Amino acid sequence: MKITVVGTGYVGLVSGACLAEVGNDVLCLDLDAEKIRILKEGGIPIHEPGLDQVVARNIAAGRLHFTTDVEEAVRHGTIQFIAVGTPPDEDGSADLKYVLAAARNIGRTMTDYKVVIDKSTVPVGTADKVRAAIASELQKRGVEVPYSVVSNPEFLKEGAAVDDFMRPDRIVVGAEDEQAINLMRALYAPFQRNHEKLVIMDVRSAELTKYAANAMLATRISFMNELALLAEKMGADIEQVRQGIGSDPRIGWHFLYAGCGYGGSCFPKDVKALIKTAADAGQSLKVLQAVEDANDAQKQVLVEKIVARFGADLQGKHFAIWGLAFKPNTDDMREAPSRVIIDELFKRGATVTAYDPVAMDETRRIFGNEPRLKYADRPMAALEEADALVIVTEWKEFRSPDFAAIKTVLKSPVIVDGRNMYTTDLPRAAGLEYYGIGRK
């Protein structure tokens, strides 16, 4: 199949590369010339495990190409994926300007049948807007060209994106015409050889499904975070509570970890956007509003623990931070709790040395020439001259540190762990003060 992917970010690049991997002829478009230059020269502009090999293999096989040329991109694919960003607007709603610009570009240039697929996370009703944007461009040209608009939200997780795309749990397709549904079946057949994964539904339900999934996951996190705060007050341990409830199959093990708040490019903006969609429809989503409020508060919890230990005035104090990315295996810093924590430490007069296996370049780009923020090339090097170690992202390489060495290097023997990485006895046996989230 000839496929165009509009937007070559985390979702677009992974989708394009994986669709090429099963034999399709894929052209990825981006307006960011620098991104396309890197890709054309064989580089990868993001960190995503395994993606470099898939991209390299398919470029070499002649199935994966990159361009900044809109006309070439529209001409190429019968299937046109829209995978551009949908960042939050000032009022919290999803900003559709990139999606609608992509749709207009298609309408302005297309000369034969296209299936236009919304893969970006977009509010209910967006497919209608995409359809209207294309129709209006065709009308301006005075031509009639057939097309279908399909909703196909993406559920991949950064850090495991290639595997998620190649072996999806489900493939949600919102479509109402037979021709488009048949094309979607053919497109996804290689990804469901083991059993049927396509869930076909109406377009609006597909659009809402994506928000429902992320809202549910965010709810579980905020629920556990609030319960962790209560556990601390009650002298209970949230890790033991987690073990006690996760074993119930009605609850399950996933997304039950208390921590220092969720971040990333999806949960915060999607929760906000769903609240706004509901408000516009005259309904308040009280549970979800509480989920968001609890998360905002949770991003402050590590700093509150530091203040409780070292006092409100942190002038002259220096902290080591392990982990900057919003979660492990990615360099994505969008809405990362580390950003809030670093800013709060600065506000109170402290300085920071940070270590992250892959997100330090992205952090440098965000914080610029900030003299209060230094970087270490190894986890232990970050600890030198630090008053405490603050753990923000649960990278595997932090799982089994040398606690005795940490105690020796730190100025005060303090670990503030925002991800509950350790059983409390190990650091304490090494003479460290260990503060987790909701721990005894």
Ligand X SMILES: NC(=O)c1ccc[n+]([C@@H]2O[C@H](COP(=O)([O-])OP(=O)(O)OC[C@H]3O[C@@H](n4cnc5c(N)ncnc54)[C@H](O)[C@@H]3O)[C@@H](O)[C@H]2O)c1
- Give kind and range of the element (H or E) at residue 27: strand 25-29
Look up residue 167 and give its two tokens: 């072996």
Contact predicate 381/405, CB 8 Å: no
CB atoms within 10 A of CB 69: 12
Among residues 207, 330, 212, 320, the alpha carbon closest in space to that of 263 is found at: 330
Q: How far is the CB of 196 from ligand X (least distance, A)?
A: 22
Q: Please report how the helices 97-109 and 126-141 are oriented relative to each other, as an axis angle in degrees rounded to 10.
A: 30
Q: Would you say 181 or 213 has its CB closer to ligand X?
A: 213
Q: Would you say 29 or 203 has its CB closer to ligand X?
A: 29
- Identity at 324, one-letter amino acid code: L
DSSP 8-state symbol, 418: T
- Give kind and range of the element (H or E) at residue 319: strand 318-322
DSSP 8-state symbol, 235: T
Contact predicate 67/29, CB 8 Å: yes
Q: How far is the CB of 206 from ligand X (least distance, A)?
A: 13
Q: How far is the CB of 154 from ligand X (least distance, A)?
A: 4
Q: Which of 18, 28, 260, 266 is flagged as catalytic?
A: 266
Q: Would you say 13 or 388 has its CB closer to ligand X?
A: 13
Please give the C-alpha separations between residue 423 and each of 150, 240, 259, 308, 396, in angstroms, as whole numbers. Answer: 48, 11, 15, 22, 15
Q: How far is the CB of 128 from ligand X (least distance, A)?
A: 17
Please give the C-alpha separations between residue 255 and each of 83, 251, 433, in angstroms, as whole numbers. Answer: 26, 10, 27
Q: How far is the CB of 119 from ligand X (least distance, A)?
A: 6
- Identity at 311, one-letter amino acid code: G
Footprint of ligand X (CB under 6 A): 6-12, 29-32, 35, 83-86, 98, 101-102, 120-121, 154, 156, 158, 265-266
Q: Would you say 83 or 206 has its CB closer to ligand X?
A: 83
Among residues 435, 364, 432, 439, the alpha carbon closest in space to that of 402 is found at: 432
Distance from C-alpha of 284 to C-alpha of 365, rounded to nearest angstrom: 37
Q: Would you say 197 or 374 has its CB closer to ligand X?
A: 197
Question: Rg of the chain's alpha carbons, rounded to an integer?
Answer: 24
DSSP 8-state symbol, 95: P
Contact predicate 217/267, CB 8 Å: yes
Q: Would you say 85 or 357 has its CB closer to ligand X?
A: 85
Q: Would you say 81 or 257 has its CB closer to ligand X?
A: 81
- Identity at 164, one-letter amino acid code: D
Look up residue 51 and give its two tokens: 């993606």
Q: How far is the CB of 334 from ligand X (least distance, A)?
A: 8
266: annotated active-site residue: yes
CB atoms within 10 A of CB 125: 16
Q: How far is the CB of 120 from ligand X (least distance, A)?
A: 3
Among residues 150, 145, 143, the alpha carbon closest in space to that of 116 is found at: 150
Alpha helices in 261-381 (DSSP H): 267-280, 286-298, 301-310, 337-347, 360-367
Distance from C-alpha of 358 to C-alpha of 149, rounded to nearest angstrom: 37
Q: Would you say 16 or 401 has its CB closer to ligand X?
A: 16
In the complex, which residue's CB is closest to ligand X? 9
Q: How far is the CB of 131 from ligand X (least distance, A)?
A: 17
Q: What are the residue numbers of the active site? A: 266
